[in-house]
Structure 1
Amino acid sequence: MTGRDGGADLAPMSEFEPVVILVRPQLAENIGATARAMANGGLFHLRLVAPRDGWPQPRAWRTASGADRILEQAGVYETVDDAVADLQRVFATCPRPRHIIKPVMTARGAAAELRVAAQRQLRTGILFGPERAGLDNEDMARADTLIRYPLNPDFMSLNLAQAVLVMAYEWYLAGEQTPERHFMTNETRIATKGEVDNFMTHLVRDLDDSGFLRNAQKRPGMIRNLRHLFARGEVTEQELRTLHGVVSELARGRAPGARLGAEPGTDTAPAPGTMPQETLPAAPATPEQKS
């Protein structure tokens, strides 16, 4: 065992997932961080072409954060030709196209293409160049498609593991079914329209009793605006129970001595020339307290 004992129980997610090929990597720490990035995106197969300091390198395990099996199973090759010999599609990351005539795709477009290739049971790989200069023209001549990340044109510098993480993320996302947006409700749930309507009935009744809706001409529009307010968002059942309690408490009116910090039987009026302190309603037995 070259690294630490344990690590994540990683295994290939698909026989036809892309192979990550690091060409002449220079730092063991970057190889370890690459394995970590691969594990994030569900990639397992790692190949190293002529690593500068040989292989294995214990320092790689220190930055792999538990992606030990990827490092343990990594293959080592002398040349790019050897590393891609059994593959049917080869992509190469390329920050600056160098007078090469080849298809160029974004990371997202390449990930979609790699997913299609996997469905067709084609073996694929992605070449990543050395940290200092990236792939040279001879390396890219072994690829059929180039990948160029659309980044800030004034600063496109990525380290090796970052470059791998971008592709690993796009690969994983291309096969993910997680909704792009969801509403987290935890222990409660989105209220039904019937529950919202029940609250509106409660609210309008007490607003009528308080005289807030005394203008008969404006009353329908005011009620409609309130209904729009609660229909516009995904109000939860818990929030409605809280609002029921708020409306009930306001309708009940403020009890003498209910000002925050006032003791029963004491004078609750603010001193002359001062602003009243914040007040809270007396604690009622509202439905929300039963939740």
Structure 2
Amino acid sequence: MDTPETQLGPQPEIVLVRPQMGENIGAAARAMLNFGLERMRIIAPRDGWPNPSAVAMASGAGRVLDAAGVYDTLADGIGDCDYVYATTARSRDLAKPVLSPERAMEEARAMRLQGKKVAVLFGPERTGLENDEIARANALISVPVNPEFASLNLAQCVLLTAYEYRRQSHETAHHVMEWASSEPASAIEVEKLAEHYEQRLDEAGYFFPETKAEVMKITQRNMWSRLNLSRLDVQMFHGILRQLLRNKD
């Protein structure tokens, strides 16, 4: 019997960040399975896990919840991913590529066919993703909704993304990111690079004044995720910083 992976090809990771209601998690699982997606990750669910309300709402999609990975932090939840999209209905100050669901899922499918691991982040129902969470993504997905009523619930947003991913065929997945001599850096490798620079810059007094330090750190982290670094790039940036500090000493 065919599995969703053999029918649809490699799938993206659907990542629910700090979801608030079990019913919405269950509805998101149903939306995923409607279009053949089964790879769910849940970050710090408000009401804990497992959640009976999620199971009840999922109905026939319970297997999506059974296989879901649960993580305490976003960094842990996407650490093994090569490319991360963040969904948002609002314009942001952070400089990121902004794509429609169709274009983003065309890219995502192409990358998955290359063997790269792709994640799509969905924020909590009331507030959406925070800036420090969006800063960890490589690109944004924005739905062209009515600006006077832009609110989509969690399951609706997941459904739109899952629909667009399923709609892509092998023929339409032509926009493939090429890496000349190195594999793309994973999210955890970029995370460690950001932490390395943040720590050293903090020691040097770069994040000043203190009232602006948090915004400066988010902006810097956003820069790293936006660069689409390869593993060789990450190693080079680590080496540059180590050499600068060595020469200073």
**Normalized against structure 2, the TM-score is what?**
0.65
* Largest Rg, 1 or 2: 1
Amino acid of the structure 1 residue aligned with 2:78: V
Number of matched pairs = 169
1:99 pairs, out of 93, 114, 129, with: 93
Q: Which residue in the other structure is 2:114 paired with?
A: 120
Amino acid of the structure 1 residue aligned with 2:148: D
Q: Which residue in the other structure is 1:260 paired with?
A: none
Q: Conserved in 1, the CA contact under 8 Å of 2:9 and 2:113? A: no
Give the C-alpha shift of residue 120 in structure 1.
1.2
Q: Which residue in the other structure is 2:62 paired with?
A: 68
Q: Conserved in 1, the CA contact under 8 Å of 2:122 and 2:128? A: yes
Q: Conserved in 2, the CA contact under 8 Å of 1:10 and 1:67? A: no
Give the C-alpha shift of residue 16 in structure 1.
3.1
Supply the distance in 2 between the matched residues of 1:45 and 1:119 (Cα, whole angstroms): 16
Give the C-alpha shift of residue 176 in structure 1.
8.4
Give the C-alpha shift of residue 83 in structure 1.
0.5
Amino acid of the structure 1 residue aligned with 2:107: E
Instruction: State whether structure 2 residue 141 is matched by structure 1 residue 133.
Output: no
Instruction: State whether structure 2 residue 160 is matched by structure 1 residue 152.
Output: no
Give the C-alpha shift of residue 155 in structure 1.
1.2
Q: Which runs of 5+ in 2 are unaligned?
A: 172-249
Supply the distance in 2 between the matched residues of 1:10 and 1:169 (Cα, whole angstroms): 18
The 3-state SS of whatever aligns with 1:165 is: helix
1:21-32 map, 5 Å: 21-32=15-26
Supply the distance in 2 between the matched residues of 1:12 and 1:76 (Cα, whole angstroms): 21
The 3-state SS of whatever aligns with 1:90 is: strand
The 3-state SS of whatever aligns with 2:58 is: coil
**Normalized against structure 1, the TM-score is what?**
0.56
Supply the distance in 2 between the matched residues of 1:60 and 1:10 (Cα, whole angstroms): 23
1:166-177 map, 5 Å: 166-175=160-169
Amino acid of the structure 1 residue aligned with 2:93: H
Supply the distance in 2 between the matched residues of 1:135 and 1:10 (Cα, whole angstroms): 32
1:19 pairs, out of 5, 13, 18, with: 13
Q: Could you say which structure has the greater relative contact order, defined with CA pairs below 8 angstroms and 6 or more residues apart? A: 2
Q: Which residue in the other structure is 2:157 paired with?
A: 163
Give the C-alpha shift of residue 15 in structure 1.
6.7
Give the C-alpha shift of residue 10 in structure 1.
6.7
Give the aligned CA root-mean-square deviation in angstroms.
Answer: 1.7
Supply the distance in 2 between the matched residues of 1:160 and 1:167 (Cα, whole angstroms): 11
Amino acid of the structure 1 residue aligned with 2:65: L
1:187-198 map, 5 Å: none
Supply the distance in 1 between the matched residues of 2:95 and 2:131 (Cα, whole angstroms): 11
Q: Conserved in 1, the CA contact under 8 Å of 2:42 and 2:70? A: yes
Amino acid of the structure 1 residue aligned with 2:49: W
Instruction: State whether structure 2 residue 41 is matched by structure 1 residue 47.
Output: yes
